[in-house]
Structure 1
Amino acid sequence: MTVFKKNGYRFFFFSREEERPHVHVVSADGESKSWLEPEIEIAKNYYHSSKQIREIEKLIKEKHYAIINAWNMHFRN
C-alpha cells in the first residue's frame, strides 16, 4: 500500500508485515526501511546515499502522523 510519494520517493507498506510500525521507501537509486516507533530510525538501507537518508528521515518526520494513521488503518482495523 502506497502511503505517499514525494521527491522521487515512494513510501509504502507491504500487506504482510511484522507488527512494529515501519515504512519502506523506494526510489530510482535504492530502497530503505525505517522504524516509526519508538523513534524514527533507519532499519535497512540498500543504495540510498547519506544525503538521501537525511531527506527520507526529514520527509518521514514531516508526515509521521499521516504514516502512523495509515499504518493503523491498514494493519489494526
Structure 2
Amino acid sequence: MRGVALSYPMPTVFRFDGYRFFFYSNEGDPREPVHIHVMKDGGEAKFWVHPVSLSRSHGIDARTLKRLAWVIAARTEEIDEAWDEHFGD
C-alpha cells in the first residue's frame, strides 16, 4: 500500500540506562530465532539471544554494544519468557 505506513506493536521487555529492549510483533514468516531490539536516541541494534551476538546496529558505538550484549546475557531468561508469552511459543 503505497504511502501508508503500517504499524506493528513493539512490546517493551525492559529498560536499562535509557535503552529500550523490545520485540517487533511482526518478526517475519517464518519467525526468526529469539532476538531483541535495543533503541535509544535514534540508535538501534538487534541482538540474537542464543548465543548473544550482534546481528546489526546503527548509531551505537562499539563500547556500548558490548555493554548491551552483557545486559542481554544477564537477562536471557527474562527475554525468553517475554518472547514465549508474546509469540505463544
Identity %: 33
* TM-score normalized with structure 1 length: 0.91
Question: 1-side partners of 2:52 and 2:40: how far apart?
Answer: 19
Q: Are 1:66 and 2:78 an aligned pair?
A: yes
Pairing partner for 1:53 from 65, 68, 74 = 65
Distance 2:17 2:34 in 1: 23
* Structure 1: gaps spanning 5 or more residues: none
* Greater length-normalized contact order (CA 8 Å, ≥ 6 residues apart): 1
Q: More helix per residue: 1 or 2?
A: 1
Larger Rg: 1 or 2? 2
For the residues of structure 2 that align with 1:29 and 1:62, how far apart are their CA atoms?
A: 24
**Cα distance in 1 for residues equivalent to 2:42 and 2:86:** 27
2:33 aligns with 20
1:44-65 deviations in whole A, cap 9, x for unaligned?
Answer: 1111101110110011011110
- What is the TM-score normalised by the length of structure 2? 0.80
CA RMSD of aligned residues (A): 1.1
